[in-house]
Structures are given as C-alpha cells and as structure tokens.
Structure 1
Amino acid sequence: MKKFTGLIMLVFSLVILFGCKETEFKHVLGTYEIESATSNGIDITSEYYVYTIELREDKTMRVTINYLNVLTNRESSFTVNKDKVTEKHQNKTYQYTYDAEAKTLTTESTEFGETLVVVLKLKTESNLTKGVDFEGILFGESIDFTKRFNYAPSVLIEEKDGQTIMHIWYCSNRLSGVIVDHIGYRRGVLNAENKWEFSEESYALAPTSGTWDSRHTCDPSVVKGEFNYENETYQYMMAYLGCTTDDYSNNETGIAIAKNPEGPWIKMDHLNPIVPWDRDNQSGSWGTGMPSLLSVDGKGKVLLFYSNSSVGVSVDYYDFSNMATPELIYTRNIVATGLTNPNGTFLNYVGLADFAYDPIQKRLYMSSYTNTKNPPDVTVTRVNSHGAVHYIDGLADMAAVVEAIRTQSYTWQLLDFIGPEDTGYDRNHNLGLVRDAYGYTYDSNNVMVVVSTGNIDYPNDNIFTYRLMGYILKIK
C-alpha cells in the first residue's frame, strides 16, 4: 500500500512539475515592445527607434532592434525555466527575466564597462489598436524597424458567415534584408468600427529548389471557380511569377490551386510554367509575369492576363475545368489605344496590369503603370511615381468582355491617376484592384485599389520601403 501511495505521489509530482513548465512557457508568449532602457543608470530609451521581441508557440522567437538607426534582426529559439527566458542564436545565448505580474521581459548586459538594462512590455488587447482604415498603410512593420517588403497585391473580398473578409496575397521576403520573393497572405476582417483587422503574415507559396521558380515566387493573382484535379474540385486558382535568376530577368508565369484562400496551394507542375519565356526568339529580357485572373463563367473559364516584355500585356483565354488538360481558347495582346500618363502624352505600351469587371457600370477596369518618375530618383528605383486606372465602357456582360478582347475593338478611357499627391509617397506602383472572388469590382460607386508605395531615398535597396496602402477612386 505504501509503494502504491508513493507511486501516485511521484506521478502527481511529475504532472505538477511538467504542467508548471508548460504553464510558464504559455504565459510568456506574445510580442514585447521596449518600455525603458538605461546605460549605467542613465535613460537612453529614446535612442532605440525599435526594440521588439516576439515569442512564438513553436519555441522560436524574433528580435528586432534599431538602435540609432543600426538595424539588428535575430531569428532564434528559446527555453523557459521558471522566470528565466533563454534565447539561443547561432553560438550566442541571451538571458531575460520574466515578471508575470508586470508582463515584462528584462535583459541586462555589460559592454565596454557599461551596464545596459532594457525592459520590454507585453502588448495586450488593451494597448493594441483594433484595426486600420482602408485608406492607409494596411499592415507591415515600419521601414525603420526592418528590411522587409510588401508589394504587388491581389485582393478579394468575400461575405462569409455574416463577416466581410478581405483576402490579400502579395510579394514578401521571409528574412529581413534578404531579397528572395515569397507570396505572403493575410486575412482581414471588417469590424464594427469599419476598420480592418488583419491576421499575421503566412506564406502561400515559396520557391521550389531545382525548378523554374527556384529563385523567386511573386506577383500573385487569385480568382474563384471550379477547377477539377485528380478527381477533386478546387475553388481557388492563383497565377504567379517565378524565375531562376538573381537579376529579375527571364521571368515566367505559373499557376497553383487550393480549396481555401489560405491554402495549402498546389503548384500545377505538369503545366508550369503555363506562360513560358522563349529567351531565344522573343525580344526583351524581363519575360512574362505580373498576372491577373478574371473569371468568365464562375466555373472553369478564365482570362489569364500577364505582362510580356515583347508586347506589353497579353491574355490567354482558358477553360481550366479539367486541370489535367486545360483548353486554350485564344491568345491576344491588350491594345494601348487611349492610355495616357500624367504628363498628358499617350502610352503605346501596357504594363503591370490588373483587371476587374463592373456589371453595374458595364465597364472593364485596368490598373497599370505610367512610365513616370515624378519626382525623379534620388537613389535608383525600379518603379513609377504614378499608377493609372483606365476603363472600357459599354460591355454588357462577360461575354462582351471576351469578345472585345478577342477582336481588339476597344479604346481605353482614363478614370484617374494615383501618385504622390494622393498617397503621400514618392513611388506608387503595382496597383491591385479590390475585387470580389470572381474578379468583379467590389463597389460599383468606387474603385478600391491597393497601392504598392515606396520611397525615392533609402540607404539600401529601395525595395525595403515597399508597403501596401488602400486608396479609393470615386466614379465620375
């Protein structure tokens, strides 16, 4: 009996021991921001532009420090023992003390004879801003905090279970300071205050080693439909740009499918690249990419638009009902007739285009580049200062859109430009039209656009200044 009682007590003690450790681990999770910093007792908090620590459930952590404009990023692992949090990064170890009552982490170190003490406070619901306005930067860290980028969005809004949900896919880099394109994803929910609450970033697609998209996957476009593959129906299709080069050349276009917006996404390896680049027989070195998808019938028929450095923008009309053997119905080039830039001259080239159809206004909208840099570069930038939204009038339905594109019998009319005077940013590029799941405009009274913004002066590559901003054009 005594042995049995002793065994029970041992098991009970182990449960308490490991249960307590798990509780300690769960309690420290979250994002912490600098509250104070002292050096030999002197307050130096203002010298830190940012100091954040994110502790995650998978026992990894991210540390971001910007001290006097010197940026440090660490992706590390951590352990918890009572009130001690131990960070392990490469061959170094960092120690933090956790205060459960104050919800703080404190780290102390000695360098050059000075004792540095930094206290970081847990961000909680009470000190978080609930949501953002659409007409502003939607998400992403400040350019002062990290060398990461967000641009080239695809934006769909769906009504589901009484909620208005914005799905947004975009080009992002997974590691700060490393320019390797991934396709990021966030889910936004419109709250009662008419603000958008976005999820943390996840990744829909990444480069696949040894394939046509081994270096970059970027520039997504997503549309809903019915796409049958291996005896299953998938509701979402993504077109995207991929390449194997470091210099942004010889791009090609591929497709992937998924049953849910967040994925998992399956690359159609047997078809990809769906729009290859014939380096030997086509002019220009950029290739194909920057796709835009538009559903024709809500099922398998889709217009696949893409930039083409030989001709501007082309479109392939496909029936993707059977993903094993999709049917190409026709291929055409998008004509530039009527396209203008902010300088008042006409463009003879279409580039970086996104499309949306409005059945109420009976218009096909196109956002595109303008070949304009006003103000001019300070450091070298690859993008324009202004984007443009043009449209074709008098298209009664999608059948009319398909026929107009086939016959190339249309002239573009200007809705408006979006530039520094509108957004407050010197560079405005890679515009994504806000659409419903099938590619129709979300609001017939307004054209909602998500703009990739950027700066013309930055000590490193300007791509690290790219962020996504909402903007609304009123229908005239």
Structure 2
Amino acid sequence: MKKLFLVFSLLFTGLVLVACNNQTKIDFTTTIPTELTVGQSFTVVAKDSKDVDIASAKLSITVKTGDSLVTVSGLTITGVNPGTVTITITFSDKNTTKSKDFSFTVKAVPVTYGLPVPATGYYMKDADIIQEGTSRYLVYTTNSAAGEEDNVIALRKGTFSAGNGYSYGAENIVLAPSTSGWDQYISSPSIVKGNFTYNSTNYTYLMAYQGTDRANETSFSIGLAVSNNPEGSWVKVGSTPVVEYNRTVYGESYNGYYAPSLVNLNKQSLIRLFFTWADAYGHFAYFVDFDAANLSNIELSGFAMAPNNGNLSTGEDVTMIPNADFAYDAVNHMFYMVKDYSPTPSREPRVATRIELASIAEAELYSAVPGLGWSSLKLFDMFDTPDTQYERLYSATLISDEYGHLISNTLIEIVYTVSDLQADNVDYVFSQKLLSFIYE
C-alpha cells in the first residue's frame, strides 16, 4: 500500500512539472496616448512583468482597425487622418508571445485663425500680403535655422472662413539667397499677379526683393523672381538686380535701394516698382515703371522721386519716407502708402516706433509742380498695439488685391512688424512677429 502511494505521488508530481513547462507565461505593460493629432507621432515602449524595459526587437505593431488613419514605422505611430484606431502590440520572447489591443483617437489639427506666430528661435518680418478671391498670400522674411539670422523668403497661404477670418497653412521657403553674386543676403519681398514672360516661359506671379552681397546688409539692390504657383518654386530673373545701387557713387555704408513695393497698374504687365532710396541725404520714396511682358529684356523708365510734402509726420528737418509700402486706387486715381516714422531710435532694435498711413492724388506723382502732397490718415504708435505692449512698430504693408490695388478705401487692413527691446529680451531679434491694424 505504501509502494502504490509513492508511485502515485511521483506520477502526480511529474504531471505538474510537465504542465508548468508547457504554460510559461510572459506579460508586458505599456502606455498609449488616448488622443493623437494628425501629424503627431508616438513610439511604443514596454516593460515586462518584472518592470524591466523590453528590447524593441521583441516588440511589433500591427494595425487592427483604422489602417488608413495612421502610418507605422517600426514602433512609431504617426497620425494621418482623423478617426478611431486599434493597434495590436505583440511581445515575443523565445517561443512565447503575448498580444494586446489598444485603441486611441486621431484628431484633426485644430484650425488657428489670424496671423501666424513664428516658432521659438524664428522671426517673421517685412511682410507683404495680397488677397485673391477668398485666399491670401502672405510673403515675408524669416530665418531658415532656429536661432540663426540667415534670412530666407517664405510664403503661407491663408484661407477664409466666414465668421472666423483667415487661417494660414504651412510655411513654404520660396526664395533663398545665392551662394555668390549680388543677392547673398535677401529680405523684404513684394508680390503681384499678372501676365509675365521670362526666357520664353509664361508666369502669373512676380516678386521683387532686396538683396546685397554684404554681410552687414547695406548697399541693397532690388531683384525680381517669377512663379506660376506662389507656394512652389520661384525663378530668379537674371543674375543681376533690376534696380542696382551704385555704392561707389552713393556710399557703401547706407541701405541703398530697399523695401520694394510692386503695383500692377493695368493688371496685365505694366509694373510700377516703388522702393526707398537711402544714402547720405536720407530715406526717400522713388519709383520706376517697366513692362514685364518680357522680363528677359527689361526697359526701365527714369527714376522718379515720390513727393514728400503734405502733412506727414517726421522727426527730421526734411520729411523722409522710409521703408514704405504702396497700393493703388485706380477708381479714384489715388495712391495709398504706409511708412515708417523717422528718425530711427538709438536703442536696439534700431527701427521705427511709429508707422503712418497716408494718401496722395495719382497726378501728383507725375508733376514737377508741388501740389497738396500727402494727406496723413493716421499715425499708429505703441498705444495702438495690444495692451500697449510694443514700442517698436515698423515695416508695415497694406493688404491689397492680387495686383497691388487697394481693396477698399473705407476699410484698410495694415500688417506691421513688432519687436521686443534688447533691454527686455537679449534675443530680441527672434521676437519679431506680425500684428495688424484696421483703419476705417
């Protein structure tokens, strides 16, 4: 009887041991976000039952439902389209596997209305905006690398929503400086629509920009570029500027020809290019006219100085017109202008503290006999900015239609640049951003 009991005990023990070997268990834990925004990603990490990190080679992911809503790259999940997704995570160790399902929601990117804000370490300045139907094209100067002053020209498309305003899409770098030549440092773009030809190719958009080969960004000249898609690639016109500053004659330490502003006078190819001429005598507005129907052979008119009389505000004995942007009212035969106040303050950044909106009769631009001059419509200063926060207001633009014509003379939208002071922010260069006024 004792022998029989011993045999039974050994058999029972053996059966238990065999069962344990066949049922080796593994487990894991991981944390999956409950929500993911389109364009965002997360990477799966997991721990075993002893709270030890599991090697990534032992983990794998498959999409159980919602395959079109995400992409999977190794252990990284990226949101593509809004919806609910279920993934299966599998932990494999030796010949044993453990799988678990996890669900999360991919949300659409929230829409932000109003002017875009630059990311940390970036700036936005010297903007120009044209409105074409229910779209706006915002072109501006920014930097290509965070924390660096390496100017490029960028563009964003704005889409209108009733009751909300404009939301601007992703930033596209549309023009970069040349590695050699006259435009190794570029900024201050202006664009218009029309009918243009360059090297036997037809284009529908024209850009003017300032450039120089001097690292201290003086002695600017003005060049052109063309495109059929403002958000896409732009082709520089020629290898020399269209309006070239002669630093030997006028001095190399001055700004030269800067702040170009384009107007398509006949909405076809007749272009007026306004710019600021800055030399030892000050900053004054000039313009040239040319037919852009054949940009391979540009014939400029003579330089004409815009009048500087009237009741413009100034801090000099002679009224100056620095850093101005222009728009054309073809119905009433008027030109509108927004300009920086002069003089330049001594504290950094050395830019204007005020901007001024003014208008003038078109006929006065063509007459050598002084007329009434500019009529100042409003002078904007820091008390017009949100919470009177910004002392520096400068480099403004009038939002025009796609040809550089005024949209309305009773409601004018102005976009301008602001900056912190160096005394308040050592990284003031990267605080430059865009704000707007409405003049009614």
1:277 maps to 2:245: yes
- Residues in 2 aligned to 1:123 and 1:333: alpha-carbon distance in whole angstroms: 58
- Residues in 2 aligned to 1:407 and 1:227: alpha-carbon distance in whole angstroms: 34
1:223 maps to 2:174: no
Aligned to 1:468: 434
TM-score normalised to structure 2 length: 0.72
Aligned to 2:75: 82
Contact residue 354 and residue 432 of structure 1 kept, 8 A: yes
CA shift in 2, pair 1:382/1:124, >3 Å:
farther
How much does 1:444 deviate?
2.7
How much does 1:263 deviate?
3.3
Q: Which of the two has higher C-alpha Rg?
A: 2
Aligned to 2:412: 447
Aligned to 2:305: 333
Aligned to 2:382: 420
- Residues in 2 aligned to 1:299 and 1:423: alpha-carbon distance in whole angstroms: 37
How much does 1:29 deviate?
6.5
How much does 1:347 deviate?
4.9
Matches within 5 A, 1:11-410: 30-31=39-40, 80-83=73-76, 124-125=107-108, 128=110, 130-133=111-114, 138-141=115-118, 146-159=120-133, 164-214=134-184, 216-270=185-239, 272-283=240-251, 285-310=254-279, 312-341=284-313, 347-371=318-342, 377=347, 380-393=348-361, 395=362, 400=363, 403-404=366-367, 409=371
- Residues in 2 aligned to 1:276 and 1:387: alpha-carbon distance in whole angstroms: 27
Contact residue 41 and residue 76 of structure 2 kept, 8 A: no
TM-score normalised to structure 1 length: 0.67
Q: Over residues 143-193 of structure 1, what are the superposed CA-to-partner deviations in whole Å (9 max), with x where a residue is unaligned? A: xxx12110111110011xxxx101010000011110011111000001133
Q: Over residues 92-150 of structure 1, what are the superposed CA-to-partner deviations in whole Å (9 max), with x where a residue is unaligned? A: xxxxxxxx779xxxxxxxxxxxxxxxxxx99943x72x3324xxxx11236xxx12110
How much does 1:244 deviate?
1.9
Contact residue 32 and residue 123 of structure 1 kept, 8 A: no
Contact residue 313 and residue 319 of structure 2 kept, 8 A: no
Contact residue 449 and residue 471 of structure 1 kept, 8 A: yes
Contact residue 310 and residue 372 of structure 2 kept, 8 A: no
How much does 1:211 deviate?
1.7
- 2:399 equivalent among 431, 434, 441: 434
Identity among equivalent pairs (%): 23
C-alpha RMSD over aligned residues: 2.9
- Residues in 2 aligned to 1:339 and 1:450: alpha-carbon distance in whole angstroms: 23
How much does 1:219 deviate?
0.1
Aligned residues: 347
Which runs of no fewer than 5 residues in structure 2 stay unpaired?
1-35, 43-71, 79-84, 88-103
- Residues in 2 aligned to 1:389 and 1:319: alpha-carbon distance in whole angstroms: 28
Contact residue 135 and residue 160 of structure 2 kept, 8 A: yes
Q: Over residues 353-381 of structure 1, what are the superposed CA-to-partner deviations in whole Å (9 max), with x where a residue is unaligned? A: 1000123454210111112578x84xx21
Q: Which amino acid aligns with 1:439?
A: G
- Residues in 1 aligned to 2:427 and 2:247: alpha-carbon distance in whole angstroms: 28
Which runs of no fewer than 5 residues in structure 1 stay unpaired?
1-26, 34-78, 86-99, 103-120
